[in-house]
Structure 1
Amino acid sequence: MTSETTDQRPARRISRRGLLAGGLGLLATAGGAGGWALNRYVVDHVEVTGASGLTAANVVAAEADSDGTATATGYTSDTAKITIETVSTGSGSSAVTYFVADVQVSDATIVKSAFANDQFGENIIANPSEIAASAGAVLAINGDYYGFRDTGIVIRNGVMFRDAGARQGLAFYADGSVKLYDETAVSAGELLADGVWNTLSFGPGLVEDGKALSGIDQVEVDTNFGNHSIQGNQPRTAIGMIGKNHLLFVVADGRSQGYSRGVTLPELAQIFVDRGAEVAYNLDGGGSSAMVFQDRLVNNPLGKGQERGTSDILYVAG
């Protein structure tokens, strides 16, 4: 994440609870990109008592439209079939809650991206549910927060917006396939010529050829110190592919004692492997992690039920 980026989010008024030792605790209060990155990924622990959190079963589905039918945990139309599952394991400090949306589409191009305020650029943000509503999304998750940096290949809905390869990316092809790739080894123009419909630039890749990738518990997304904190138990958002036109959207809640501690990157990878994914990729997480279905928030970000603004979403069009 780039040194030029500055904090555009509301200041947090939550006391630190010893999550960082020594000097990093002071750095978290400093201005500039480093402090913001730390705030994004190591948000203070929030204890929740007597709260079970929001689940897909709590979602009240919108009325069926002319193109499909919806229930609280699923949607079916001529072009898409979506089922949403809530998984809760453990208890107390070991409790984990995550949400899995199984998405099957007949046309890969109805899996789209949308920008906050329908604008491309750095530091343009809106809540995922607001972006989803504007786009007419049936199901959405937060994306890669492309606007937090000025690097990465950004192709969205078949249009190139940025060609500055820097890390491992994820490419969605118009034929329904999804692949991990090295952004530094190819241009955006070459990807478009090869049939790429969307790209995401965050990472790391979690699963390839049906196997969890090794070493992901050591990977840093970028070089600034704030990204060290993507390791450990964190709220997470990730996307995976079981087969062509068959995707998994996963959002894990975290930092909420008794409800969900979050998951590590290896644990996140295993969720996809256990469900038969051939490929999977980590997206922006922490307080940004959100799943929206039929205009309603499915998960419970940071145990507070409050979304945080981001620059983009990945969604299934209605």
Structure 2
Amino acid sequence: MQKYDNISLVLIFFDIESSNRILEQERNNLGSSIIEHFRSYSWLKRILLVIAVCTFLSSSFLFLTPPGTFIREYLAKTVITTQHRDWAWIFVGAQRRDQMVLEMQNLTEVNSVEKQDLQAVQFNTNRSIESLVKVEDISGQFWKGKKMYVYDPRTIRVVVPAKQGEGERITSMVQRTGAVAGVNGGGFNDPDGLGNGFAPIGAIMSGGEILYTDQEGSIPQHIVGFTKEGTLIIGKYTIDDLLKLGVTDAVSFYPRVIANGKPLITSGDGGWGRAPRTAVGQKADGTVIFIVIDGRQTQSVGATLKEVQDMFLADGVINAGFLDGGASSEMVYNDELITKPSSRYGERRLPSAFLVFDHPDEVKVKNVWAGLTNIDPGGAYDHPDFLKEQAEIKAKPPKATPKPTATPTPSQKPESSNDPVKNGGTTQNPSESDNGSGKPSSTGKPQTSPTTTPTSTPTPTPPASSATPTPTPGTGGGTTGSGGSSTGASATPKPSATPTPSSNSTQGQQGSSNGANGATPSQPVTSSPPVK
């Protein structure tokens, strides 16, 4: 009986082995047939098949795995702080996009509440005037930039454009005023990312005077400024608060990242992705540090909010926050632009800048908004570089398609017919071909006479006292011209010649942003983060 059992086991073993060999052979045959079938495809079919497979695999990874979800949300945060914020739905959907915008806004509001300890800064008065400014190169894994130390904060002043109707480039401001150095300041209304830089958002103070505000004195705004003693003030303050604290120079922007020595970003990267950044911080000895990060370029993608915060912490900074960023981020030193703005037109026209002077008391800043009730923010219809670019495109002659000609054989005589078909020609008139020129995006203003077309928005009315404005992501940054979604009302002009923002600044508030600097300040709590 045992003998028969052993034989059965042997037979079963051989049967299994035989089955395995058959299956292996069938698999090989199937693989070979698939390969042969694939080889029979045309090159177009092969490419489409590879694309389909890659799309399936990448989609499965992005939508069905935790790492994929993290990547999608990271990309969405980066898009939110640009001028194309609405497109973030592609990565996370419209509902999640709106939720992320609200989360960013709420975090900014929470971080702006804590009041500063003004006694925490003990100024070092033993420094010589020769050690006024020092500039260093800085870099990270994905970015490059500049860091500027200003050892006497009392030498820092806010400067605004020299003439009405148009912002001014930082290099021009530095050369015009004789400043040693400068960085971009607050946000502004930036239609299509092509604004003229003359419609600020929030408040601007210089030399103790309020040059501009779009909110009543009792409504808190995001502020970055300096007291007459040189203490850096960052957070939400009313105009009345600023005057009581002795603030002399200030602009509006956010977010705040260090308060009284405590880092405010304690988890994650800050939530605004990577972008060009401009930020300012102050050490306990009074030294001010400006950081400008290049971004949206192959050699420098941009920095996260936490990366900038950590750099400040490593330098012993006790209070820090961001200025406008995105395409507005730049630093000028010794009359030279030393960073690389992400705007395709180079330096942008801006409404404000922090400049450093050897003799700040001699600097006089004119209020170019005094007496204005409507301010045109500009746009594609009057942007000189954009219009020049469009004119060059239109001026390019169309590419003429060469007409094929029949080559007669020795035994043939060329036909003398005028028929273009018989002559191998074409009936199309080359002059009728498309120039490929694009029209600038509409802003409701005719391109032929933009200066004579009035703005379409009515004169702003005073905001309700319950409104609490907060900056919107900048366009400068950045921010995206389509930056803010808030509808903050502007303040009524005061007898002290405090200008009221144009009706345009009460609209979509497309502020100039910075990604973290992509925000446009002074907008209601419902507004989205800064973009540029």
TM over 0.5, yes or no?
A: yes
- Helix, strand or coil for the counterpart of 2:176? helix
Partner of 1:237: 278
1:245 offset after TM fit, Å?
3.5
SS of the residue corresponding to residue 261 of structure 1 reads: coil
235, 245, 250: which one aligns with 2:291? 250
Q: Over aligned residue pairs, what C-alpha RMSD do you find?
A: 3.3
Partner secondary structure for residue 137 of structure 1? coil
Instruction: Measure how far apart 1:125 and its partner are.
Output: 1.2
C-alpha distance after superposition, 1:61-80 (max 9, x if no partner): xxxxxxxxxxxxxxx96275
1:195 aligns with 2:246: yes
Kindly indicate whether residue 181 of structure 2 is the aligned counterpart of residue 139 of structure 1.
Answer: yes
- Contact 2:200–2:351 (8 Å) recurs in 1: no
Q: 1:23 to 1:236 in 2, by over 3 A?
A: closer
Structure number having the greater helix percentage: 2
CA distance in structure 2 between the partners assigned to 1:212 and 1:26 by the alignment: 28
Q: Could you tell me how far 1:25 is from its partner in structure 2?
A: 4.9
Tell me what 1:167 maps to: 221
Residues 1-318 of structure 1 mapped to structure 2, 5 A cutoff:
24-25=86-87, 78=129, 81-90=132-141, 95-105=142-152, 108-117=153-162, 124-146=166-188, 151-163=201-213, 164=215, 165-183=219-237, 186=238, 188-214=239-265, 231-243=272-284, 245-257=286-298, 259-302=299-342, 306-318=346-358
Q: Which amino acid is 1:97 matched to? A: K
Alpha carbons 1:101, 1:248 under 8 Å: kept? yes
Q: In 1, distance between residues paired with 2:287 and 2:339?
A: 22
- Conserved 8 A contact 2:281-2:289: yes
Distance 2:140 2:85 in 1: 35
What percent identity do the matched residue pairs reach? Answer: 25
CA distance in 2, matches of 1:78, 1:166: 36
Code of the aligned partner of 2:318: E
Residue pair 2:224, 2:233 contacting (<8 A) in 1 also: yes
Q: Is the 8 A contact 2:160 2:352 kept in 1?
A: yes
Q: Tell me the CA shift for residue 303 of structure 1.
A: 8.7
Q: Deviations over 1:250-289 (max 9, x none)?
A: 00001112x1110111212111111111111111111110
Tell me how far apart the structure 1 counterparts of residues 169 and 145 of structure 2 sit (CA, whole Å): 20
1:184-217 deviations in Å (ceiling 9; x for gaps): xx3x244224311112211011111222213897
**For the residues of structure 1 that align with 2:161 and 2:321, how far apart are their CA atoms?**
22
Q: Which protein has the bigger strand share? A: 1
Q: 2: CA distance between counterparts of 1:133 and 1:298?
A: 14
- Are the structure 2 counterparts of residues 23 and 311 from structure 1 closer, same or farther at C-alpha, using a change threshold of 3 Å? closer
Q: Deviations over 1:115-145 (max 9, x none)?
A: 12255xxx63121111221121101000013
Q: Contact 1:104/1:247 (CA < 8 Å) preserved in 2?
A: yes
SS at match of 2:265: coil
Shift in alpha-carbon separation, 1:174–1:200, aligned structure 2, 3 A = same
2:138 and 2:242 map into 1 onto residues whose CA distance is 36
Any stretches of 5+ residues in structure 1 without a counterpart?
1-17, 28-75, 220-229
Which of 296-305 and 146-155 deviates more? 146-155
Distance 1:180 1:296, change over 3 A: same
TM-score under structure 1 length normalisation:
0.63
More contact order relative to length (CA 8 Å, sep ≥ 6): 1
- Distance (whole Å) between structure 1 residues aligned to residue 154 and residue 209 of structure 2: 12
Larger radius of gyration: 2
Q: What is the deviation of 1:23? A: 9.5
**Paired residues of 1:234 and 1:254 also in contact (CA < 8 A):** yes
Question: What is the SS of the residue equivalent to 2:324?
Answer: coil
TM-score by length of 2: 0.39
Per the TM alignment, residue 152 of structure 1 is displaced from its structure 2 partner at its CA by: 2.3
Contact 1:152 1:166 (C-alpha < 8 Å) held by counterparts:
no
State how far apart, in whole Å, the 2-side matches of 1:125 and 1:216 are.
Answer: 38
Q: Residue 260 and residue 189 in structure 1: after superposition, are their counterparts in 2 closer, same or farther (change >3 A)?
A: same
Report deviation, 1:147.
6.1
1:5 aligns with none
In 2 relative to 1, CA 147–196 (structure 1 residues): closer, same or farther, beyond 3 Å?
Answer: farther
Cα 1:260/1:214, change in 2 over 3 Å: same
Partner Cα distance (1:285, 1:217) in 2? 20
The 3-state SS of whatever aligns with 2:151 is strand
Look up the equivalent residue of 1:268 and give its one-letter code: V
1:312, CA displacement in angstroms?
1.3
Distance 1:237 1:23, change over 3 A: closer
Paired with 1:127 and 1:302, the residues of 2 have a C-alpha distance of: 14
